[in-house]
Amino acid sequence: MEQLERLATTERNVPFDVQAERAALGSILLERDAIVAVSPWLMAEYFYLQKHVWMYEAMLACYNRRVPPDISTVADELRRRERLDLVGGIVYLSELTADVPTAVHVEYYGRIVERTAIFRRLIEAGGKITAIGYNEQDDIEVALDKAEAELFAVSQRRTTQDFVHISSVIDSYFEQVSELNERRGDVVGVSTGYYDMDKLTGGLQRSDLIILAARPSMGKTSFALSMAYHIGVRVHQTVAIFSLEMSREQLVQRLLAMHTGIDTQRLRTGNIDRDLHLVMEGMGVLSSAPIYIEDTPSLSIMEVRSRARRLRAQVGIDLVVVDYLQLMQARRSDNRVQEVGEISRGLKALARELDVPVLALSQLSRSVGGAHQPSSRC
């Protein structure tokens, strides 16, 4: 283990701070509440020395069992994992507490550990992007999507774990259930503005892909825009709209009609003299709403994911709307069903990646549902 530390100190090109790692761990051992301050964002993978990774994992295990992570309990946990001797034994744990007179600066030390870990991930991502650049067999859009995904993962400080023990999932789930119990009757997801729908579904849930499918001219766009209006204007949550069918001006016209109650035909023809004050007021309200519109036609799923990632990094996103699914481009295929399936999988991956609901409109064939269905303008 000493050999590992000597090797670490010679690797000057790799960002790390052993003293900050020792101070963060020592603070946690010294003060039982210190781990409460750092556990939501300080991950075991952020530590550079392997023995520090093992020690922090043992501390988190104690904390998750609601046991104070002090020298005795952490030593017991490490012994149970057969790693106590590998980290230097109780002697090393005692040295860590001796290094820090107080735990008041635990967040400061933890942020240093986090910062250096992110720089190491940038180096790793740079290597992967270089390899992508040398692989000329990839389609350019595929290559750009892969490269952007590498940087996005670093910017979001995401951790990658192959498996998570069910105990940690149960702990986090119990917190969610407790919160839901306290908020009983409230909408737990993104409110749609439709009371019955919110009551039935609890709102639009994070990481869900919701398909709104109907035949042409049945009101899909109007329905989706009414939800976007409620979420952006009434609730003031951020909505990203990918409009592949209508221009941004047409969408704004519809949103303005919703807000003012003025017929869209009058807005389209400019016959608004007697309601000009309503139009001006509505334009002011919509201008301040966190609604973002992308109206580039025939976007590919990779372009949608790329632009959504950038918007998420800039302002955050609470809902993504795609109008509509069949107008998106997929990789060339002789089977349109396979193309739509690929687009749907890509949108689901986007919902999971950004952890937001994605509402995708889908056009059904006019023959679906029979010939005697009533029709209305979309």
Catalytic residues: 245
Alpha helices in the chain (DSSP H): 2-10, 18-30, 34-38, 50-64, 71-80, 89-99, 106-134, 140-155, 166-182, 195-201, 220-229, 248-260, 264-269, 276-287, 301-315, 336-354
| φ/ψ (deg, to 5) at 300 | -85, 165
13: CB partners within 8 A, 6+ apart: none
Joined tokens for residue 260: 């003012």
Q: What whole-number distance in Å separates Cα of residue 195 and Cα of residue 266? A: 30
Joined tokens for residue 120: 């190491």
59: CB partners within 8 A, 6+ apart: 25, 28, 29, 35, 69, 74, 77
Q: Cα 164 vs. chain centroid, distance in angstroms?
A: 19
How far does the chain reach from its first CA to its final CA, in angstroms?
Answer: 69
157: CB partners within 8 A, 6+ apart: 41, 114, 118
